[in-house]
């Protein structure tokens, strides 16, 4: 059987089909942005990725069985998991592994939405935090010119592979191994800044290195999925202001500094109360971004099912040791048990009532402002009332 990667017409048709999928979705592609997806192939950047098989992640190469299915998956408008538990698909054993995905190739439609918001012009100096596979960097090179693109990733092996793959498709941007939030090239300034990993708040170095009039597109997310993507423009006074995009995004966190993941302790049975709100509400992406605004920055959530197969969530704040368990019951309201100085569920209950009272405002109706010292998200209700949350 012939290898579809040897058929240039087949590969072109795959890129055309992907571009049509994106354009038929929620992103209206400009001619230049469509050109990026038509001219930058995806398959060189994801030669191996994981497919799910029950609870396991199995590495998938074009040589592993159905080559046509592999190519169709690469050029579908879906994210592709490239790393699980720190093990890249290229380094995984054939039988795969279990664990939590830690890196992926973003769904092309979300890439397109963020690139459209970034509004890259030829000659713009662009900084990308989170090289990953290099596919997004390839699109930036097509739009700005590769000599104007700097891309950085903390994982040395990913950076090296992405650099070689970018060169393989004709691009040679400045590719840096380092901390994307801190290790920007000395004294460099940029017209555009984009992140392909989420942050809890905009790193001050990104704000400092963005030229006045420049645009920044940054995924902002805490412990909950369904985070926000912010588009900010830097003003002459150094403040960056903008809006939240309509698209939810669950990007994996940007690895920066020496942070460690807090281990969530069990919440012992104790004083219990009832709640009208199941913790399953935190999995509703229309609400989760709003709930996150009411959570402290270091709060961690874990969830699963209890012995009866019912939903249970544990919230834990390592700052003061507070822990709260919210557990569904078979026939009655969910139960809440807390340990430590605070009940962490009460602010979420209040946030849900406010969200409903505001008629479930969409994320794109919120604005964001960042200064060197403060960052805040705001929503102006139809009656003129302004609600503000500090990031």
Residue 65: per-residue pLDDT: 81
Query: What is the average per-residue pLDDT within 190-199?
Result: 96
Residue 319: per-residue pLDDT: 93
Query: What is the average per-residue pLDDT within 255-273?
Result: 69
Whether residue 33 is predicted with pLDDT greater than 60 in this model: the reply is yes
Residue 171 within any structural domain of the chain: no
Residue 169 within any structural domain of the chain: no
Residue 169: per-residue pLDDT: 97
Residue 263: per-residue pLDDT: 73
Whether residue 259 is predicted with pLDDT greater than 60 in this model: the reply is no
Query: What is the average per-residue pLDDT within 23-32?
Result: 86
Residue 294 within any structural domain of the chain: yes
Q: Return the percentage of the chain with pLDDT > 70, whole number.
A: 97
Residue 115: per-residue pLDDT: 97
Whether residue 360 is predicted with pLDDT greater than 90 in this model: the reply is yes
Q: Over the chain, what is the mean pLDDT?
A: 93
Residue 315: per-residue pLDDT: 96
Please report, for the domain that includes residue 304, its CATH number: 3.30.160
Q: Which residue has the higher pLDDT, 249 or 74?
A: 74
Residue 74: per-residue pLDDT: 97
Q: What are phi and psi of 21, to 5 degrees?
A: -60, -45
- Asked if residues 298 and 264 have their Cβ atoms less than 8 Å apart, the reply is no
Number of domains in the chain: 1
Angstrom distances, CA of residue 45 to CA of 37, 157, 236, 363 = 13, 13, 38, 32
- Asked if residues 51 and 60 have their Cβ atoms less than 8 Å apart, the reply is yes
What tens digit of pLDDT does each residue of 299-324 get? 999 999 998 999 999 999 999 999 99
Residue 76 within any structural domain of the chain: no
Range of the domain at 284: 272-356
Instruction: Take residue 229 and report the two structure tokens written for it.
Output: 């993507």
What tens digit of pLDDT does each residue of 120-161 get? 999 999 999 999 999 999 999 999 999 999 999 998 888 999
Query: What is the average per-residue pLDDT within 191-198?
Result: 96
Query: What is the average per-residue pLDDT within 233-244?
Result: 98
Residue 313 within any structural domain of the chain: yes
What tens digit of pLDDT does each residue of 268-285 get? 665 579 999 999 999 999
Whether residue 170 is predicted with pLDDT greater than 90 in this model: the reply is yes
Residue 321 within any structural domain of the chain: yes
Residue 319 within any structural domain of the chain: yes
Residue 252: per-residue pLDDT: 87
Residues pairing with 309 in the sheet: none
What tens digit of pLDDT does each residue of 328-346 get? 999 999 999 998 899 999 9
What is the band of 261 on the pLDDT scale with cuts at 50, 70, 90?
Answer: low
Residue 110 within any structural domain of the chain: no
Residue 269: per-residue pLDDT: 65
Residue 5: per-residue pLDDT: 79
């Amino acid at each position: 059987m012939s290898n579809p990667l040897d058929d240039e017409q087949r590969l072109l048709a795959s890129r055309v089909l992907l571009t049509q999928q994106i354009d038929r979705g929620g992103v209206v592609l400009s001619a230049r942005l469509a050109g990026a997806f038509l001219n930058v192939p995806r398959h060189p950047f994801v030669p191996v990725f994981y497919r799910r098989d029950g609870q396991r992640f199995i590495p998938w190469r074009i040589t592993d069985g159905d080559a046509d299915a592999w190519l169709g998956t690469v050029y579908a408008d879906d994210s592709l998991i490239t790393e699980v538990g720190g093990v890249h698909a290229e380094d995984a054993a054939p039988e795969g592994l279990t664990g939590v995905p830690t890196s992926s190739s973003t769904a092309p439609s979300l890439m397109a939405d963020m690139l459209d918001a970034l509004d890259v012009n030829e000659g713009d100096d662009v900084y990308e935090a989170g090289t990953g596979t290099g596919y997004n960097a390839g699109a930036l090179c097509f739009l700005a010119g590769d000599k104007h693109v700097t891309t950085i990733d903390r994982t040395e092996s990913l950076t090296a592979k992405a650099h070689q793959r970018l060169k393989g498709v004709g691009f040679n941007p400045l590719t840096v191994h380092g901390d994307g939030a801190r290790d920007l090239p000395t004294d460099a300034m940029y017209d555009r800044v984009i992140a392909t990993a989420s942050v809890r708040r905009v790193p001050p170095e990104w704000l400092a290195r963005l030229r006045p009039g420049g645009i920044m597109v940054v995924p902002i997310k805490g412990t909950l999925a369904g985070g926000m993507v912010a588009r900010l423009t830097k003003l002459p006074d150094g403040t960056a202001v903008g809006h939240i995009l309509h698209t939810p995004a669950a990007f994996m966190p940007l690895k920066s500094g020496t942070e460690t993941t807090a281990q969530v302790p069990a919440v012992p049975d104790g004083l219990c109360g009832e709640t009208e709100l199941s913790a399953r509400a935190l999995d509703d992406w229309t609400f989760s971004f709003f709930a996150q605004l009411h959570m402290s920055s270091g709060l961690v959530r874990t969830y699963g099912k209890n012995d009866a197969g019912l939903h249970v969530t544990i919230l834990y704040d390592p700052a003061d040791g507070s822990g709260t368990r919210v557990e569904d019951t078979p026939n009655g309201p969910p139960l809440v048990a807390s340990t430590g100085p605070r009940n962490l569920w009460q602010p979420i209950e209040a946030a849900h009532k406010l969200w409903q009272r505001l008629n479930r405002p969409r994320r794109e109706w919120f604005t964001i402002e960042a200064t060197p010292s403060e960052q805040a998200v705001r929503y102006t209700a139809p009656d003129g009332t302004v609600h503000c949350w500090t990031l």
